[in-house]
Structure 1
Amino acid sequence: MRAYIVPMARSLTVALAQYVPLNGPDEVEVLRSSAAEMCSAAPGLDLIVFPEIHLCGDGDDAPDTNEWLNAAAEPLAGPRQRALCRVAADLGVWLIPGSVPELGDDGRVYNTAIVVDRRGDLVAYYRKVFPWRPHETWAPGHDFTVFDIPGIGRGGLSICYDAWFPESTRSLAWMGAEFVVNVVKTTGSDRAQERILARANAITNQVFMLSVNAAGPVGAGGSLVSDPEGTVIADLPSDEPGLAIVEIDLDDVTRVRQHGTEGLNRMWSQMLPGDPLIDLPVYSGHIDPATWRPRGQS
């Protein structure tokens, strides 16, 4: 018989907005209204997440979507970002408004996910490392991003096609992420595979995966949350607009990593002192057993 000592829960209540991309003269104000309704319906809500490029629905009907998005790009310190920060501060909630077209200091345009805390401060941003080529013309980012919610835990950021590359979620987990938010705007039949990948990424990295897709008729829907053992704990399986509010306990990550998936598999404890370096020729690098464990894990 196996006995566990269960510490105090580190609870995070998240709203996943499987909504249609916004268009019109003031998309941020529409987002504000939607977010306010969520906060009213779920007092104590910690975090609201919208899909990828949620504020850029006008681009869906443009003759050239990539050209439209490039024209809509702003620096992170621009008026769109300031307006989003005011929304989070006014509602007193953490906000991931999907991703936005960002005009970088280098003049390139990135697909960038942002995190705003309940005070209205931009605390993290992440440029999509794996654009969906050849269809997307975004400049690729080159590093991964985690952020801390004080008193609760650490999250990681991922955008759509990133989920198809195991290096993305593995890197975030190694950086200490206990949950990974994957904002998505998938329009095709491959959403079925992405739902499998969300669970697989959760299992192989022992993290919560929150995959939030756009609704139809633009997006294919199918948003879901997987726990660290791959169990789906929130699901919007159709492409219809929907809202999922889920409470996750980040102590589940600690438990699974300490005692193993289903009490068996502890891949983050695989390496032992004195084990040799594992060569990874595809990366011109290696795995060092001395640095294998996620940051913050003893």
Structure 2
Amino acid sequence: MARPLPLILAQAPGRPVDDLAGFTSDVERRVKLRAPGALVVYPELHLGESAPGVTAAPKTAAEPLDGKRDAVLSDLAGDLGIWLVPGSVYERGADGRVYNTTPVYSPKGERLAAYRKICPWRPYETIASGNRFEVVTLDGVGCIGLSICYDTWFPEISRHLAWMGAELIVNVVRTPTSDRAQEVVLSRANAITNQVFVASVNSAAPSGIGRSLVVDPQGTVRAETVDAGDSTLTDVIDLDEVSNVRHYGTAGLNRVWEQFRPGDAPLELPLYGGRIDPATWNAARTTEEPAR
């Protein structure tokens, strides 16, 4: 069995907030001659600039999630028959606050989900924080989890997405700073410790410094860009590799989701005011003990 998912990752410079026509043309150009049903991903705040490389003021750029922008993006995904993650956008919530939000659209032209960034880059990013994790089921393919840039520095976020069923974590990024080197390491670490695919898509210059990459559940870099240029990173991943690695172990050895067994003593987690309970460590666990 195999569950292939074509990826089209756009390491692109940002665009003006209202340049939906230009964005549509860019998506069409990158998707041309590619596999149907691909997952197309753009960087953080791709449609969020006031000038080349300059992020727009959040309150000025924000609009409700179901506004004009949403209709254009829905139609675009439907017309091209793709799963579309257009990066993230400034969303004006019903509570009047502004969020950094990643929507996901289906090949049927439906918005399936929207994830609000849980960990804005403090003190530089002044938008409100999201308060829920988000995974999305791609019908007939598998499950992806959503994270935005600085979220990748917090292992709890990737862990929870994997626990919720994510087989691929899509991390949209806008990093123009020297810590991109650490983010590359963290992408591999999050893939290894959670045995999932990770796709980290950074902006091209002048909005970011590139170095986008795809990492497999063993932590191996499958594909990457080598500079900050505008480029399209493509790959076809098999989501069944997640279950294979979890069954046989990373490097044929380590099975982190089978570490705790029913009957083991719970481990208190004073850091969170909670605990690891072996009975719920693996949400997908069956009642049978796995063979070793």
State whether residues 135 and 143 of structure 2, in contact with CA within 8 Å, keep that contact through their aligned partners in structure 1: yes
State whether residues 37 and 107 of structure 2, in contact with CA within 8 Å, keep that contact through their aligned partners in structure 1: no
Which one of the candidate residues 68, 71, 87 is aligned to 2:76?
Answer: 87
More helix as a share of residues: 1
Deviation at 1:276, TM superposition (A): 1.2
Structure 2 vs 1, CA of residues 149 and 296 (structure 1 numbering), >3 Å: closer, same or farther?
Answer: farther
The equivalent of 2:290 in structure 1 is none
| Helix, strand or coil at the partner of 1:148 | strand
| Structure 1 residue ranges (4+ consecutive) displaced by more than 6 angstroms after TM superposition | none
Residue 250 (str. 1) matches residue 239 (str. 2): yes
The equivalent of 1:282 in structure 2 is 271
Aligned partners of 2:273, 2:35: CA distance in 1, in Å? 49
Which one of the candidate residues 43, 46, 50 is aligned to 1:58?
Answer: 50
TM-align CA RMSD: 1.4
Structure 2 vs 1, CA of residues 244 and 61 (structure 1 numbering), >3 Å: closer, same or farther?
Answer: closer
TM-score by length of 1: 0.93
Deviation at 1:83, TM superposition (A): 1.0
Aligned partners of 2:29, 2:229: CA distance in 1, in Å? 18
Residue 266 (str. 1) matches residue 255 (str. 2): yes
Deviation at 1:59, TM superposition (A): 5.7
Aligned partners of 2:265, 2:224: CA distance in 1, in Å? 42
Aligned partners of 2:248, 2:115: CA distance in 1, in Å? 32
Which one of the candidate residues 170, 177, 183 is aligned to 1:188?
Answer: 177
Residue 154 (str. 1) matches residue 143 (str. 2): yes
The equivalent of 1:39 in structure 2 is 31
The equivalent of 2:289 in structure 1 is none
TM-score by length of 2: 0.95
Which one of the candidate residues 100, 106, 118 is aligned to 1:111?
Answer: 100
Letter matched to residue 218 of structure 1: S
Residue 169 (str. 1) matches residue 161 (str. 2): no
Q: For 1:133-152, list aligned pairs within 5 A.
A: 133-152=122-141
Q: Which runs of 5+ in 1 are unaligned?
A: 1-7
Residue 233 (str. 1) matches residue 222 (str. 2): yes
Deviation at 1:39, TM superposition (A): 2.3
Aligned partners of 2:162, 2:154: CA distance in 1, in Å? 14
State whether residues 85 and 104 of structure 2, in contact with CA within 8 Å, keep that contact through their aligned partners in structure 1: yes
| Helix, strand or coil at the partner of 1:58 | strand
| Helix, strand or coil at the partner of 2:25 | helix
Residue 22 (str. 1) matches residue 15 (str. 2): yes
State whether residues 104 and 112 of structure 2, in contact with CA within 8 Å, keep that contact through their aligned partners in structure 1: yes
Structure 2 vs 1, CA of residues 152 and 61 (structure 1 numbering), >3 Å: closer, same or farther?
Answer: closer
